[in-house]
Amino acid sequence: MLAFSFKFGKIYIAFLCICCAISIAGCRQEKKAKKQNQEKSKAIKEWNKTIPGNFSAEQNRFLDSMEIDSFINKYPLFQPYAAAIREFYGGRNLAYAWYADNRLIEQAGNLADRVKNLKNEGISQETPYRNILDSLLYAKATGTPDVKLELMLTANYFVFAKLAWEGMDPSISKSSQWYLPRKKLSYAAYLDSLISAPEKASKTAAPVYRQYDLLKQHLSHYRQLQKEDPIWTPIARTTKSYKPGDSAAPIAAIKKRLFKLGDFKGDTLSYIYDEALETATKSFQSRHGLPGDGLIGKGTLDEMNVPLTKRIRQILVNMERSRWLPVHMDSTYLGVNIPEFKLHVYHSDSLLWSCNVVVGQSIHRTVIFSGDMRYVVFSPYWNVPESIVRNEIMPAMKRNRGYINSHQMEITGYRDGIPVVRQKPGPQNSLGLVKFLFPNSYNIYLHDSPAKSLFNESSRAFSHGCIRVSEPFKLAAFLLQDYDNWDEQKIKNSMDRGVEQYVTLKHKIPVFIAYFTAFTDRKNLLNFRKDIYNRDDTLAKMLIED
């Protein structure tokens, strides 16, 4: 779905110009803005349908393999894509792709438009030899097929696929401590599949994780906001916080800001904190991971005052992360988004349910990786990691001789002069009443916790790296729902028995632990979260330099 039709490109530009003219003040302007945003969203969706391209099945014009070699030698910046170009034409028996009846197909212009507007994809660089592509298109819009233009179009397709869909080199993601497996996809095979079934091309989604296109829509909106309000003047407080019924000059400024951000619907000129503002404030707080109390205090106002430049960088960084993930999953899987402090349970990319989690502190970061859930362990022992024994338990033992017994622990041996400690099953156990194992080299797993109050905190980075689950019973019941004799009562009894019991899952459940500080929820609302591990800036700098 690579190339854009000229028709949809014109529609998109028209809608964008209309949206720029919308006034943000007053009820009438708000209704007009809503209508235009809906139309703009529709236009973008139509535009995106042309991404795959409806390539020609032209069979009366053929390339010579030597012409491909000559082209790559003449334009060496395409060398990284040489194998993909050869694979693509090899699958077509060297037949031309961009011509039909000796004329360029419409998708040639669509591709050129998409390449020219890489900024819309969150890409700051240009494709190689773009001026040559433009010149060739201008000179050869009609007439006999031109081999240089044919190959220039194909090469640009693969450049676009690399930049917009595949993303930066895997070495970059690893340097960002992103150990989730990168997406693997043959873009030549992808093109070939579209060519073999052109009637399906307009319905085929781009080969990229769904968050990418959703974030791209919001990127357009935030860039437009920045154009209209480049200063984004911070709103100052005149009191500790604002609550429903209050009246103050900054309240009108808050209403205008929330209107621009899409949360507020109402009179932006009033100084009164009314019901509409309370609804908008709670929406804004929810989207930013703040307590949804409706009070506009320092934390909420600080988030409103975050510069648009920073928000745009957040969107760009998370669009890049979206390029790395598998396009979709056809099975049940679990996903943890560390900055969101949430566990999500999916089936075939449909969200089934979610719950709060506690993740690692900044000095004990939860690792970004994936694994396969294999075991549910009821009434578990906690084998205390050596680092915790050395840094926490041994100093506590020196202060208090009864520390081990009082914490329901036992020493099972010694290793290099350091005691091997485990905590007995029971309500005091740091793992709670059940744990969920997906074996990995990082010694990270999901588990219950006796510290229930921490799940009510808005920021939940308290652990030593493992992930504490607020609804462990529900997760255990979900994983064992198709297992004979594992009804809810048996699960509860096993959690309370105080005797460790392993249950091996019949089918492995994939677990993805990811890191997204900007994402869209199931209502297509843009969410931001704090960069708790300071990972965004490094990746943003690499994106800009690249």
First to last CA, the chain: 25
20 annotated active-site? no
Measured CA distances, 466 to 47, 180, 357, 513 (Å): 43, 17, 10, 11
β-pairing verdict for 461-463 and 350-360 = parallel
* CA dist., res. 18 & res. 202, Å (int): 26
CB 18 within 8 A of CB 36: yes
Burial label for 282, CB within 10 Å (0-12, 13-18, 19+), is middle
356 token code pair: 């709060």
355 annotated active-site? no
Residues 6+ apart with CB under 8 A from 38: none
The C-alpha angle 516, 521, 523, rounded to 5 degrees, equals 165
Closest CA to 260 of 292, 299, 221: 221
* CA dist., res. 339 & res. 352, Å (int): 20
- CB neighbours of residue 478 within 10 Å: 16
- CB neighbours of residue 159 within 10 Å: 23
Tokens 């998370």 correspond to 318
**H helices present in 233-392, as ranges:** 249-260, 275-287, 298-304, 308-324, 386-388
CB 372 within 8 A of CB 438: yes
* CA dist., res. 462 & res. 452, Å (int): 12
* CA dist., res. 373 & res. 435, Å (int): 11
502 token code pair: 């392993």
Catalytic machinery residues: 447, 466
